[in-house]
Amino acid sequence: MKNKPNDLILQTVTTMISFIIILFSIHLFFAGHYTPGGGFIGGLMTSAALVLLLLAYDIKTLNTILPFNFRMMTAAGLLISVLTGAGALLFNQPFLTHAYDYFELPLLGKTSLHTAVLFDIGVYLVVIGVTMTIIQTIGESE
Amino acid sequence: MLNMSVYIALVAFAIAMIGIVYRAIKGPSTADRVVALDSLGISLIAVTALFSILLRSSVFLEVILLLGILAFIGTVAFSKYIEKGAIVDRDRHK
């Protein structure tokens, strides 16, 4: 308590930059089908934004802002990926067969929707969950 | 003409990075090395941009933004370690 550091500049910068990093990670995630990117690097960038919040604040504040259990997030991501693979079995196709089609969405116009995005959401959640579990576990040990 | 100037810029950045690596090895204090690593990352961004000009491709633009974010987070983590000795706090107010 004796020399309490004043992190005002770091905290102000973090509140603005973490949103930019999260937007960039969402862009990387959705651009992954046609340009470089995808679930893995998108998840890593999202956890980089969360790590920046951890650096500027502390573990207790991050748990207040985002009350997620990151181990459950890993499990949910694995479940989504496995269910996406198993969904092909309902249509008499081999495991992990993907399908796509073109849809007319109200705001976006003609869009191709692919079930590989669902698989990628699973990868995204697993990467965030594993990275944040590792960092929080190391940070909490005395 | 464009290729020639890009090559000249690449050589200039290579010389600058040699100087930065010299400072990272020789630097007497830890803070010198941290600043040297930060500027090495920024030079790497410039080299990536020059290579994407040279290869006539725009797929490296994500790499540029990524390296900027990673260099910033790494520098913040190192400076917090220098200041406090711990990178992640459990409770800031205790």
Q: Tens of pLDDT along A32-70?
A: 888 888 899 999 999 999 999 999 988 888 889 888 899
Q: Tens of pLDDT along A70-84?
A: 999 999 999 999 999
Per the document, the length of chain B is: 94
Q: Tens of pLDDT along B64-76?
A: 999 999 999 999 9
> Is A5 close to B84, i.e. CB distance below 8 A?
yes
- Pair A77, A129: CB distance under 8 Å: yes
Contacts with B65 from chain A: Cβ below 8 Å: 24
What's at A115, amino acid-wise?
T
State whether residue B82 sits within 8 Å of chain A by CB: no
With 0-12 CB in 10 A as exposed, 13-18 as middle and 19+ as buried, what is A128?
buried
CB within 8 Å of B6: residues ≥ 6 apart: B50, B53, B54
What's at A135, amino acid-wise?
I
Alpha helices in chain A (DSSP H): 8-31, 39-56, 59-65, 70-87, 116-140
What's at B92, amino acid-wise?
R
- Pair B64, B45: CB distance under 8 Å: yes
Taking CA atoms, what residue in B is nearest to A58? B89
Q: What are the two backbone dihedrals, phi and then psi, of residue A111, each rounded to the nearest 5 degrees?
A: -130, 140
State whether residue B55 sits within 8 Å of chain A by CB: no
Nearest-CB residue to A57 (from B66, B70, B92)? B92
Q: Tens of pLDDT along B22-64?
A: 999 998 999 999 999 999 999 999 999 999 999 999 999 999 9
Contacts with B87 from chain A: Cβ below 8 Å: 55, 139
Separation CA B13–CA B62 (nearest Å):
21
- How far A31 CA sits from the closest chain B CA (Å)? 11
Q: Determine the pLDDT at residue A104.
A: 81
Q: Tens of pLDDT along A87-137?
A: 888 888 888 888 888 888 888 788 888 888 999 999 999 999 999 999 988
Nearest-CB residue to B88 (from A28, A48, A54)? A54
Which residue of B55, B63, B69, B78 is the best one to mutate when testing the A interface, meaning the one whose CB has the most A CBs within 10 A?
B69
Task: Over range A5-30, report the average pLDDT.
Answer: 92
Separation CA A120–CA A39 (nearest Å):
5
Q: Determine the pLDDT at residue A28.
A: 93
Nearest-CB residue to A58 (from B59, B62, B92)? B92
- Pair A57, A71: CB distance under 8 Å: no
> Is A48 close to B87, i.e. CB distance below 8 A?
no
Q: Determine the pLDDT at residue A41.
A: 94
Q: Determine the pLDDT at residue A1.
A: 47
Q: Determine the pLDDT at residue A98.
A: 86
Confidence of residue A3 (pLDDT cuts 50, 70, 90): low
